[in-house]
Amino acid sequence: MTRLLVISAATRPTSSGRPVAEWVVGQARDHGAFEVAPVDLAELALPFLDEPEYASTGNYAHQHTRDWSALVDSADAVVFVLPMYNGGFTAPFKNAVDFLYREWQGKPVGLVSYSAGGTGGAPAARMLLPVLTQLGMLPAERSVAIAGINGLVGDGGFNAPEGLAAELAGVLDDVAALVKEPVAA
Ligand SMILES: Cc1cc2nc3c(=O)[nH]c(=O)nc-3n(C[C@H](O)[C@H](O)[C@H](O)COP(=O)(O)O)c2cc1C
């Protein structure tokens, strides 16, 4: 079965994204095409990039990089659940991406963004696309942007607005199709 990493890109201890990522994990499991593994960047706690050699060499001096490499290598596809800060993707997330190179290549990727404002973080997802294609990843045609995140997250977790589950299913369908028949980036 296709192994999908759902990577929560948030690192703040009070992140609103964590319940969103948990919801995405549940939806991806229900989708049926994937064996789903949740990943929380806050738990990984990677330092700022501290590898002496380029990631493209695959020569990693640090155990945290080797662990991160093995985790991404273990997956056939990924979904990033990412917040928007100041109109773009976040620094800790880009740092985690930059740690690796070959591990990302050819990997289908779905994007679920969120923000406090009305864009749902779509600008952050758009900003990310050239990075992903540079890495040879295969972005899903569709993406999900969740606006007004602060009003959707509470004690009961993430309260998904009507229609969002269907939107996410579309992204997951795209990712599953790209795993079967990859299209060059
Ligand atoms: C540094 C920072 C910058 C932000 N910039 C924006 C922004 O440009 N537009 C927006 O709609 N929300 C912005 N927000 C609000 C976040 O989108 C919202 O708090 C979201 O929950 C952040 O994700 P997190 O809770 O997982 O950290 C910003 C939040 C932070 C912490």
Q: Using one digit for the tens of pLDDT, what is the confidence trace for 76-118?
A: 999 999 999 999 999 999 999 999 999 999 999 999 999 999 9
Alpha carbons 103 and 27: distance in angstroms, whole number? 25
| pLDDT value at residue 140 | 98
Q: Is residue 160 part of a domain?
A: yes
- Is residue 5 pLDDT above 90, yes or no? yes
Query: How far does the centroid of ligand 1 lie from the alpha carbon of residue 1, in Å?
Result: 35
Query: How far does the centroid of ligand 1 lie from the alpha carbon of residue 86, in Å?
Result: 7
| pLDDT value at residue 76 | 98
Q: Please, which pLDDT band fits residue 175 given cuts at 50, 70 and 90? A: very high
Q: Is residue 185 part of a domain?
A: no
Q: Is residue 138 part of a domain?
A: yes
Number of domains in the chain: 1
- Could you tell which of 12, 85, 89, 150 is best to mutate to test the pocket of ligand 1, judged by most ligand atoms within 8 Å of the CB? 85
Atom of ligand 1 nearest to the CA of 147: 11
Atom of ligand 1 nearest to the CA of 15: 25
Q: Is residue 62 part of a domain?
A: yes
The CATH number assigned to the domain holding 37 equals 3.40.50.360
Q: Is residue 10 part of a domain?
A: yes
pLDDT tens digits for 29-70?
A: 999 999 999 999 999 999 999 999 999 999 999 999 999 999
Specify the residue with its C-alpha closest to ligand 1, atom 11: 117
Alpha carbons 175 and 169: distance in angstroms, whole number? 10
Q: Is residue 139 part of a domain?
A: yes
Alpha carbons 81 and 12: distance in angstroms, whole number? 14
- Could you tell which of 24, 86, 153 is best to mutate to test the pocket of ligand 1, judged by most ligand atoms within 8 Å of the CB? 86
Q: Is residue 137 part of a domain?
A: yes
Q: Please, which pLDDT band fits residue 184 given cuts at 50, 70 and 90? A: low
Alpha carbons 99 and 47: distance in angstroms, whole number? 10
Bridge partner list, 6: 38, 79
- Is residue 156 pLDDT above 90, yes or no? no
Specify the residue with its C-alpha closest to ligand 1, atom 2: 85
Domain that holds residue 7: 2-180
- Is residue 185 pLDDT above 90, yes or no? no
Mean pLDDT to the nearest integer, 131-145: 98
Q: Quote the mean pLDDT of the chain.
A: 97
Q: Is residue 104 part of a domain?
A: yes
Say yes or no: CB of residue 16 within 6 Å of ligand 1: yes
Alpha carbons 185 and 181: distance in angstroms, whole number? 12
